[in-house]
Amino acid sequence: MKISILDDYFDTLRTLDCYRKLDGYDVKIWNDHVQDVDALAERLRDTDALVLIRERTQIRTPLLERLPKLKLISQRSVYPHIDIDTCTRLGIIVSSSQHADTPSYATAEFTWGMILAAMRAIPQQMAALKAGKWQIGVGHTLRGKTLGIYGYGRIGAVVAGYGKAFGMNVLVWAREPAMAKARADGYETSASKADFFARCDVLSLHMRLVDATRGIVKAEDLARMKQTALIVNTSRAPLIEPGALVNALRAGRPGMAAIDVYEKEPLRDPADPLLNMDNVVCTPHLGYVSRDEYEIQFTDIFDQILAYTAGTPTNVVNPDVLAHPDVLAHARPRG
């Protein structure tokens, strides 16, 4: 079976311990990023199983229809970048573990790093120092301030714990079952969405991107935030309605942002408004990018390939595909 892996920018995967799970398979790793359909169709023409690193590459119908040998896509987390219905029609299994058993501590830690960096203007101070300037402003401490957690899931709960350790007052807004869990964990929940946005000094988004959450943060929500407040997004850019964040920052509510995710990735346009605001800290979607997190994620991803070759695919997000007459015809062990 031929396995292709896309977007391994730093050729990291072959250095992981879990990569040994693919011993005996014909594996091709691509280290650059390509979105052109013709180029991808050529690269993947003999591929049986495709490994994706999050949403780095869009896998849409025009490409899928040119990959007659493809029988499995293995990845982790959500899959808005894959045309699932087309995969089902073409007999392609999509296996994607939703890591329900563990939070991404890498993302939670990175979120906290972003909060500290933005509140103390660390990147701006570093840039000024390198330019020969000594101190360019006064930052903000966290103790005693209100940390808002929008979406109290696995990562949100961990970030809330970091806030508590820093002496912050944690305030949660989410669906009622999640807020009930937050209250059971000892955190205050907000009476309304409007109250939540108005009270937070730091507001961090922690939701999956699904139809119900796309654009869930509106311009009017941002307009309620304090002029001194910070909004942090290490989840997904489309949680905020298009254009709302840039306009809100220009209007001064909130006063700051820390952003790790973008509408279009990779973001390579130096003229992008977010990259040209002094009150914004931007990073290139690094939340989950750590060796430790890669070991966890790709253990799941490679195990999904092994399960497929054993004829017992796991974490199938399009179960109707299993009724396809030859969906497991190419499933076979190493070699």
SS3 category, 321: helix
- Angle CA 204–210–211, to nearest 5: 120
Closest by CA to 298, choosing from 95, 136, 140, 162, is 95
CA 316/CA 308 separation, integer angstroms:
10
**Catalytic hit among 140, 265, 324, 330:** 265
Paired with 256 in beta bridges are 230
Kindly give the residue spans of alpha helices, DSSP state H, lying in the chain: 37-43, 61-64, 84-90, 105-119, 122-130, 154-165, 176-184, 193-199, 219-223, 244-251, 291-309
265 catalytically annotated: yes
Q: Cα dist. 54→51, 225, 312, 328 in Å?
A: 9, 31, 23, 24
Sign of the alpha-carbon dihedral angle for 144, 145, 148, 153:
negative
CA 304/CA 176 separation, integer angstroms:
33
Sign of the alpha-carbon dihedral angle for 271, 273, 277, 283:
negative
Q: φ, ψ for residue 153 (rounded to 5)?
A: -100, -150
Start-to-end Cα distance in the chain = 6
DSSP state of 265: S
295 catalytically annotated: no
Q: Which residues are catalytic?
A: 236, 265, 285
